[in-house]
Structure 1
């Protein structure tokens, strides 16, 4: 009981510090929606890299990783941080500079500028669904930790952490995320490695040889990557869904947009990807170690917190708990802010207000308050989902399956192929996501798609959407021609997005109003 009390004190201090640090960022927002959502596009390299790492090293890829390793073997969990790390590297190499240059607030802004209101609306809905799931997964992970350290029921643990994140997200937006990420993510990384070294370096009561010899046969076997019966399709599906699908990530792109220039955006993504891959070995191996120390777990999701609290030195265990708790809170903060910005800016302001009602755009200050108001109900939905089905590892893959299926092809081809057009984007969004939904319904009900081929249901829809996008674009060029000159400078911000005194950095003049739906 004494240990639980000590852990509870440390976590309580951490939560209080997070509330204070995040809430103080209220002053930096300066009554500006742009500053709330993308920190005024002013963040330096160190903050961008740290914040991107904090979004990927979250409750799903740490606590969920260990749970999947404990239950299904090494690669079932390791694919989570590997996929996220690879995604950030790809963002840095191919996407970050172009997207940062375009000076956007949200990712659906790209679909609006490139393809019009129709693609903007569809992509917005898909991303909202995806990120509600992601927020729920991270709240669930944080709630499980609070349940243990405070000795309360899961719902109270969930409400405690949700309240903390809600307060500082409402107050400081992305600035609050920057203030809390500075210490959260680095605590997590150091704690993961310290815990792994504690066991593997022979500092635990049980020699490492005895621990490693106890690992079940096949749990670290490479057949998990090429034998279907050993879960190869599922593992590759997770890698594709995260490595490519997470490119369509509101929280990642918030940070890319918030970088002070394209070069910083690119380097920050590479930095974040490197830090994420640096956690693959310790987090996944701790899942294996939990098999030895906790062989009879009823809930694999408890593997990480119980291992930290019962089998590690207090300092390491406490650091790991608050590191994972902080990482989960950071991702919940980023996801929640992204969802709220998409609802206020893309759905309410641009589609409902400007296109349907034909009214003027909001001021920067009004965008701030509408976004803050949207935060509250969206948090309620995330808490409800986390309470009904607390499954962090599963959430992460499911969340990006949704957007990977339909939204990846329009973003990628829209950036790099001049013949991309609106009909192709709308068809890819609807058909790709629709096929993914059909596959999910089939596997949950009729079982026509054999269970042993699970994983193909994730990989097939985005491939279909990609080639369908190309076919539709080519077939509709006469009525919807692509760009004669395709360059990010051709996609200037609409006039209502330009804030007084803002530097447009070389955008070419031209029409700056809504494009056809």
Structure 2
């Protein structure tokens, strides 16, 4: 009962914030990018909460439990690395081009609305469907523990509660509630880590689980697969891009990503350590992704356990809400505005955006009920993004030679390769060696990693054959223009920049 009461108090808080957000939302821009007005502390807090999302942390602990300390560290370390790399690569260019969504980068940078819609569709499926499904599974675990109900009713309740404040308050409400949620998340995670270290230190940091040489032979393939797909593959993350797009200027976007990524990397060792300890405390667990919840309920006083469960639920809800808003932003901007109705009535556009949130929620719920595993859905989302959207975003700000046909070819080749190799397996030699060559061959046979190599070769070769147009070169000049970094949020009438339009 204490857990239910505490969670209900939290719901009152977030719905109050959602109502305040509702009062500030008059247009789709307000709903999706918070009017391009979020300051540094809000964007940073929101990003920290996003990276420490309870479902992903649970999945990381599960990896540590099943595979080892380094494997448990890989997920959080990869997410933190991805944030810092994203800051260095695309945060300022995206804000200089004044995109609504990260999919807008592709459409604006490569002067093609159709390309923006194509990349946006891939992102909407990856994050609005698969990633949202993974977050729904993790949040459902928490709701089950709070209310003592089955998986299906818990999933429906979790999604319903999240959808309400997402539709009402949009990104504004999501970001501001995440400041509090991020703080609670860090305190709760550090609290469990401290208890484990003090009471169960004999179970932690076993040399067999933390042997660095393990990372450089065939056995290290699990760690590198997890780490690289997140550190590199999640760079074009739609939900992170949505938060950055809402920052009030490029400098705020850049700094917030650096700070948030550094915080997450600094505590990335904790899931591996917890997974290692839980291996002894909870032997033979059939679902180690839920063990943080079991530990909090079994080893913390009821009030502390209730606060912890509520904080974990809050993290899951906020990050899931951000996925909904990101998917809605892509559908609204890159499909509806760009191709269906470029001059809609503002109220109708806002209604369309809210309906898109509901549709994303329903699809993610359906998928979660089918899989009921966090890690399977999450890595499917990141694999898809890695093999398709990684290279155009990473090369675009630095290599002006990248052409629009090359981007089309790279994304399509990566997607086809990933689908075919997931069905028929990756071609290439299989090494019997357990050393470094065995590690390389194991990594090559991961469809996400080898697919990224294939799509990278395609974009480079095609760009060398087909040069960019003058319009594309002009957009590259704009994304490199440092004089735009201190500008505050643009006027709403400038919310979309036609490719080739010069920003003064």
Q: Does TM-score exceed 0.5, indicating one fold?
A: yes
Match of 2:447 in 1: 457
Match of 1:20 in 2: 16
Distance 2:44 2:183 in 1: 12
CA-based RMSD of the aligned residues comes to 3.0
1:13-66, CA deviations, whole angstroms, 9 ceiling, x for partnerless residues?
A: 32343233323310111x111111111111111001111111111133311111
Match of 1:212 in 2: 204
In 2 relative to 1, CA 509–379 (structure 1 residues): closer, same or farther, beyond 3 Å?
Answer: closer
1:60 aligns with 2:48: no
Map residues 30-179 of structure 1 onto 2, 5 A cutoff: 31-115=26-110, 116-131=112-127, 132-179=129-176
In 2 relative to 1, CA 365–421 (structure 1 residues): closer, same or farther, beyond 3 Å?
Answer: farther
In 2 relative to 1, CA 510–476 (structure 1 residues): closer, same or farther, beyond 3 Å?
Answer: closer
Distance 1:481 1:345 in 2: 21
Match of 2:436 in 1: none
Distance 1:341 1:481 in 2: 25
Asked if 2 retains the 8 angstrom alpha-carbon contact of 1:69 and 1:78, the reply is: yes
Map residues 5-404 of structure 1 onto 2, 5 A cutoff: 5-29=1-25, 31-115=26-110, 116-131=112-127, 132-201=129-198, 204=199, 207-209=200-202, 211-212=203-204, 218-228=208-218, 230=219, 232-351=220-339, 353=340, 360-404=342-386
- Cα distance, 1:286 vs. partner? 1.9
Distance 2:499 2:416 in 1: 38
- Cα distance, 1:325 vs. partner? 1.6
In 2 relative to 1, CA 481–265 (structure 1 residues): closer, same or farther, beyond 3 Å?
Answer: closer
In 2 relative to 1, CA 188–227 (structure 1 residues): closer, same or farther, beyond 3 Å?
Answer: same
Distance 2:325 2:186 in 1: 24
- Cα distance, 1:427 vs. partner? 0.3
Which aligned segments of 4 or more residues in structure 1 are displaced greater than 6 angstroms? 446-452, 478-481
- Cα distance, 1:394 vs. partner? 2.9
In 2 relative to 1, CA 296–7 (structure 1 residues): closer, same or farther, beyond 3 Å?
Answer: farther
Asked if 1 retains the 8 angstrom alpha-carbon contact of 2:397 and 2:480, the reply is: no
Match of 1:356 in 2: none
Gaps of 5+ in 1: 354-358, 493-497, 513-517
1:139-174, CA deviations, whole angstroms, 9 ceiling, x for partnerless residues?
A: 111101111221100111111111111000001110
In 2 relative to 1, CA 28–368 (structure 1 residues): closer, same or farther, beyond 3 Å?
Answer: same
- Cα distance, 1:293 vs. partner? 1.4
Q: 1:467 aligns with which of 441, 444, 457?
A: 457
1:389-412, CA deviations, whole angstroms, 9 ceiling, x for partnerless residues?
A: 121123322211101111111122
Distance 1:234 1:308 in 2: 28
Distance 1:485 1:253 in 2: 19
Match of 2:435 in 1: none
1:96-124, CA deviations, whole angstroms, 9 ceiling, x for partnerless residues?
A: 12211221111121211123133223211
In 2 relative to 1, CA 137–280 (structure 1 residues): closer, same or farther, beyond 3 Å?
Answer: same
Q: Report SS of the residue matched to 1:302.
A: helix
Gaps of 5+ in 2: 433-440, 485-489
Asked if 2 retains the 8 angstrom alpha-carbon contact of 1:192 and 1:283, the reply is: no
